[in-house]
Amino acid sequence: MNKHFDVGIIGGGVIGQSIAYQLAKEGVSVVVLESQKIGSGATNAAAGMLGANSELEANDAFFQFAKESQRLYHTLSNELFEYSQINIQLVDNGMYKLAIKDDEVEALQQLVKHHSSLQWHSREVVLENEPTLSMGIKGALYIPEDGHVSPTHVCAAFSKSANYFGASIFENTPVHTIEKTAANEYTLSTPHTEFTCKHVVIANGVWSGYFFKQLGINGSLKPVKGECLAFQSSDIHLEKTIFYDHCYIVPKGDGRFVVGASMVENDWNTLPTIGGIHSLLEKVTPILANMESATLLHTWAGLRPQTDDGKPYIGQHPDGESIYFATGHYRNGILLAPQTGIMIRDLILGREQNEEYVEAFSLKRKLAQKVRG
């Protein structure tokens, strides 16, 4: 098998596959090295909410980046289907961010003033649009642009499309070390094969932190475990995604509803905890009228990579090594995957960049003290 590539991507999740797709489409020879199965990390565990507005507060470069990425899904949906025959399940019915306490009403109404795309819906309007929500709510912020996709389908579609353009994708292939060769290339050692590449992209989520140390990067990633559950009910109908107190209910395109996600810090176990699922049930029960009698289908968890300031690392190695980082996407990996793929592609191909983004996601940036909530 070929063991020499222009670009070696470590991590076969949605970020790595998006990068592989953008590069392969430009004719670059790419290999993706995934330690387990494609998407088997944080990707498959995500609910797929495209929450640019609901998740982000400040109107900064990060927010602009997220909005651009969100918009990209509309073109990618057809583009990826053409190359992969995979439908990414884009649903674009917007989101309700609920207010149950009075101060929440105020806070959300404030946002409407600053974002023309947002609207405030009174209790009456909300219950008319979503009659199965509980009577307890006081109103909701309507976010037309925040839809959702199926993360598993998005990742598979990027992967099959990259593969269509010639990218090689190896599962069960963890990279243990990155070493520089005499020829200024990089050797990626796996338990069974060595790959040599001109450029390396580190995109294996929370496990990227290991390479930070190995490559002398001053920064770190911590896992924030997100626990989720899926339920079903013939008494519950939702057109929009529902969001309240970091907890969302996403109506998926197969009749299931996905509820997520808890935030358990520094737990590396990839299965849900009793405590996490318990807290999720506490949070979600008051939101829907018939929640108690709904059928619990499934529970699971994933490890989201969090940086010290909660924003991703997307950029080149500070010392100018031809090593690139695309990790630390925390709760927003699915949302940010399209634009991350384009940004890394342009960095590697030496194309013009949006300097604001380069700055915002640089590994050299001064990290805010407070983590994004």
CB of 204 to a second copy, least distance (A): 9
2 is a contact residue toward a second copy (CB under 8 A): no
CB of 209 to a second copy, least distance (A): 6
Give strand ranges (E) for 93-233: 95-99, 119-122, 139-143, 168-170, 177-180, 186-189, 194-202, 222-232
295 is a contact residue toward a second copy (CB under 8 A): yes
Query: Residue 206 carries which DSSP code?
Result: G
Q: 233-267 in b/e burial notation, b at 16+ Cβ within 10 A?
A: beebebebbbbbeebbbbbeeeeebbbbbbbbeeb
Is residue 21 helix, strand or coil?
helix
Q: 137 near 126, Cβ under 8 Å?
A: yes
- Out of 78, 85, 110, 181, the only residue in the binding site for a second copy (CB under 8 A) is 85
- Out of 51, 219, 223, 302, the only residue in the binding site for a second copy (CB under 8 A) is 223
Q: 178 near 215, Cβ under 8 Å?
A: yes
CB of 210 to a second copy, least distance (A): 4
- Out of 67, 153, 311, 329, the only residue in the binding site for a second copy (CB under 8 A) is 153
Nearest to 295 by CA among 223, 360, 234, 367: 234
Q: Which helix (H) or strand (E) holds 313?
A: strand 313-316
84 is a contact residue toward a second copy (CB under 8 A): yes
Q: What angle do CA 328, 334, 101 make, to 5 degrees?
A: 90
- Out of 5, 62, 186, 231, the only residue in the binding site for a second copy (CB under 8 A) is 231
292 is a contact residue toward a second copy (CB under 8 A): yes
Which is nearer to a second copy, 122 or 172 (by Cβ)?
A: 172
> Which residues in this chain contact a second copy in the complex, by CB under 8 A?
35-36, 84-87, 89, 91, 93, 152-153, 156-157, 159-160, 163-164, 169, 171-174, 176-177, 189-192, 206-207, 209-210, 213, 223, 231, 234, 237-239, 251, 253-255, 267-275, 277-278, 281-282, 284-285, 291-297, 299
